[in-house]
Every structure is written in C-alpha cells, then in structure tokens.
Amino acid sequence: MTTNYRHGVFATDQTAPTPRIRVGEAGEIFMIGTAPDADAEKWPLNVPQVIAGDISKVDSLGTNGTLKAALKAAWRQYDRQSGKIAVVRVEEKEDPAQQKAAVLGDAIDKSGVYSALNVRALHDFEPDLLIAPGFANAMPGDQADPVINGLIDVAQRIRSFVFADGPNTTTEDAISARQNYNSDRLQLVDPHCLVFDSDHADTLSIPGSAIIAGVQSSLDLEKGFWWSNDNKPLEVEGLARPIDWRISDTNAEASRLNASQVSTFYRDKGFWSWGGLSTDPARKMGGTIVGRRVADKLYDALEQGLRFYIGHPMQLQAVRHIGSLGHNFGLELMQKGALNGFVFELPEDLNTPQQIAEGILFYRLKFIEAAPIHDIEIWGYRTPELYEEFLSLAAARTSFTASLSDVGA
C-alpha cells in the first residue's frame, strides 16, 4: 500500500539554474565547394563536416576541386585562436549549369547551400558566416547569381551573414554586378587574392570571400563580433589585379568600389581589406556588416536567454526579472564596447490587460551599435596669428641693451 504520509525530516534539492542572457559563439564559417578526390567516408556529399582546431583534416579532401585551397587560405587568417568551419562537399560536374545547381542544392532536402540548415542538428552550432568560394560570383548583367541568393535565403533563416565575390575582372564590372543585390546580409568582395599553395607548389587565385571570412572569424574570436573586417591585414601573397588606393583619394579604384558598396583590398606595406560594407542601399542597419550582425546577436541572445520563462506563470516577479535580465545584458555589451546605447522596457502602450491575460508580453528594445569609424575629416586653416607667441618669444630673446660700462667708459 502506497502512502504520502511523512514523519521525519526530508531534504530535497530545489536549486534551479539562474537565467542569464549571453551571446553565444560567433565567427563559425560555413563553406561549400568541390573535392572530387576526397575520402567519401570522411566527406559524404551534402553532409556538413566540421574542422575545429586542426586544419590537417583537409588532407583527406585531396588537392583537386575548390575546397582544400580555400579552406587553407581562410585558416591562414587566424591568429592566436582558430574557429569552427562547417564544410560541405558537393559533387563536381563538368557542365557549369549543373555545377551551379549542385552547389545551390534544394531547400526541401537540405542539399547544397541549404545543408547549412543541418549544422545545428548535427554539430550543435549555427554557422555565422556563409561562403561558397568559386561559385557565389556576382557578374555584370541583369541577373543575380542563384548561389548568392540561396546563401542569402539561408542567412535570413538562421541570422547569419554572406560573403560573396565580384567578377574578378575590372572595377567597372564589379560595380555593375553589385546592382543586382539588395541585402543587409551580403558583403561583396572583389578581386581575388593570390595565395601560395604548397600542394600545388604555386600561387593560386583564391576568391576574396574565403579570405575575408577568415579575417572576420578571427576578429570575432580575438576582439568581438562587433568588430568590422574593414582595414585589416591579410595573410596573402598578392591580389589578382592591382587596386588603386590612396587614403584620401575619392577617385581611386578602392574608393569607387566602396562608394558602390563593394569591398576590396589594397597594398600598402602588406595587403589590407577595405570596405566592410553590406549591399543595403537603404542602410537601415547602418550599411555595414557590424550593424546587421550586432542586431542578430542581440536577438539570438534574448530569445535563448528568455526561453526559460516560456510556460512560467504570469507573475509580477517574473515580469520584473525579465526586464532586469534584459537591462543587465545591455549593460554588459556596453561595457565590452559592442553597444553605445541600450533600452529594454515593458511599455504600457504596447501591452493590454487582454494580452497579458493571454500570456503575451511585448517588450521594446532600443539599441545602437558601436559603429565602425570609416571617415575622419580634418579641416585645416593657415593661421598667421599663431606667430604672435613666436614673435613675443623672439623679441624677448633677441633684445640686447648696451651701456657705457659695457665698453669700459
């Protein structure tokens, strides 16, 4: 016979985890490409595999195809820490149209670029930076590239960001190609970079998207996701074509590319990135990669951090705690330098008794990211009046007086 009768002292642990809002990992790369000689067991088609901490894993990809060289070039951009790269191999096709279709894949069966949607389920992280070096190419003309659009589609679903390449021909072509895109989740990069590859014992032309993805991933790990990839040093041997750059020349190639929201590279005692711009002409998130990614990280962190309260009774203490958590989260990001302002509030004008009775709460979030500095203006004025102090000092130090005693009279 069972009974709930108790007589004695009973201790039970009622400790519950303290909810906290925090930003998750950042800088994870998703790269898709070909490797026809790969070990098929280690690199099955359309199944994300992860490289984390040991780039030697790429040896089993073989030297042919696009993946191995691009992975090694991206990995070179890391400094003290290396990130995670989710790698997807697709079948190599002889026909360019079929190859494009294989890389694009299908949203229903999650093949091609849409295999990025499987990374969380398979490896417990969401890819942050999406690239398809050699296949996501913006070309001049009146049509957008389907692989770029596919990557943007995935990026919108998982709050990630896309790096894609320009035509790697001329500045005029790159500017023309940019006109087919309008997304605050896309950064176009032109031209390619030259990277020496030991497997080929030669210098290869590597799409700039692989280089800039490695740079951004390294920044995320070393400095924070709120750092721009603009004006950062590159680990490359050269550029596929020289880019005219001068720090204050608005007619230089680099400036003209940036004015059209195409990021580029330049040479000045080494090689550097120049741009960090998204292809959003409305600039609703500031027109930079930073504005878009900071917003994404805020939303992701708040959603995950406040999930604890779903199913919780509607109590004043819970409502206050949610507000306190949001406020402390904003302060933490301001202290780190990611934000310059943050408001998290439960406004009466967004909430009604009926909504609250149905378990619905509306909070208002206001924020402003620490925008990257991209323009420093110096106004110079030639000011002869500044000689006044000079004249006073000169007069005092060159004034001599003589008397008869000085000549022995």
Indicate whether 334 and 388 sit together in one domain.
Answer: yes
Between the two ends of the chain, the Cα-to-Cα distance in Å is 135
Please check whether residue 72 lies inside any domain of the structure: yes
Task: Determine the longest span between alpha carbons in the chain, in angstroms.
Answer: 135
Name the pTM for this structure.
0.91
Indicate whether 112 and 221 sit together in one domain.
Answer: yes
Indicate whether 221 and 341 sit together in one domain.
Answer: no
Write down which residue in 264, 293, 322 finishes a domain: 293
Write down which residue in 265, 293, 321 finishes a domain: 293
Give 43-70 as a DSSP string.
Answer: S-BT--EEEES-GGGGGGG-SSSSHHHH
Please check whether residue 11 lies inside any domain of the structure: no
3-state helix, strand, coil in the chain (%, to 5): 35, 15, 45
Burial 19-57 (b: 16+ CB within 10 A, else e): eebebeebbbbbbbbbbeebeeeebeebebbbbeeebeb
Indicate whether 283 and 324 sit together in one domain.
Answer: no
Please check whether residue 338 lies inside any domain of the structure: yes
Indicate whether 39 and 113 sit together in one domain.
Answer: yes
Indicate whether 322 and 286 sit together in one domain.
Answer: no
- Is the CB of residue 135 less than 8 Å from the CB of residue 89? no
Indicate whether 37 and 162 sit together in one domain.
Answer: yes
Indicate whether 318 and 283 sit together in one domain.
Answer: no
Please check whether residue 224 lies inside any domain of the structure: yes
Indicate whether 266 and 363 sit together in one domain.
Answer: no
The predicted pLDDT at position 232 comes to: 98
The predicted pLDDT at position 15 comes to: 67
Q: The CATH number of the domain where 226 resides is what?
A: 3.40.50
Indicate whether 67 and 156 sit together in one domain.
Answer: yes
Q: Which residues pair with 177 in a beta bridge?
A: none
Please check whether residue 322 lies inside any domain of the structure: yes
Residues of the domain holding 43: 29-293
Report the domain count for the chain: 2
Indicate whether 106 and 253 sit together in one domain.
Answer: yes
List, for residues 350-401, the tens digit of each pLDDT value: 999 999 999 999 999 999 999 999 999 999 999 999 999 999 999 988 877 7
Please check whether residue 373 lies inside any domain of the structure: yes
List, for residues 87-139, the tens digit of each pLDDT value: 999 999 999 999 999 999 999 999 999 999 999 999 999 999 999 999 999 99
- Is the CB of residue 231 less than 8 Å from the CB of residue 374? no
Please check whether residue 401 lies inside any domain of the structure: no
Backbone region of residue 110 per phi and psi (left: phi > 0; alpha: psi in -120 to 50; beta: other values): left
Please check whether residue 6 lies inside any domain of the structure: no
pLDDT truncated to tens, each residue of the chain (409 aa)?
566 787 778 787 766 666 788 888 899 999 999 999 999 999 999 999 999 988 999 999 999 999 999 999 999 999 888 889 999 999 999 999 999 999 999 999 999 999 999 999 999 999 999 999 999 999 999 999 999 999 999 999 999 999 999 999 999 999 999 999 999 999 999 999 999 999 999 999 999 999 999 999 999 999 999 999 999 999 999 999 999 999 999 999 999 999 999 999 999 999 999 999 999 989 999 999 999 999 999 999 999 999 999 999 999 999 999 999 999 999 999 999 999 999 999 999 999 999 999 999 999 999 999 999 999 999 999 999 999 999 999 998 887 777 777 776 6
Indicate whether 191 and 338 sit together in one domain.
Answer: no
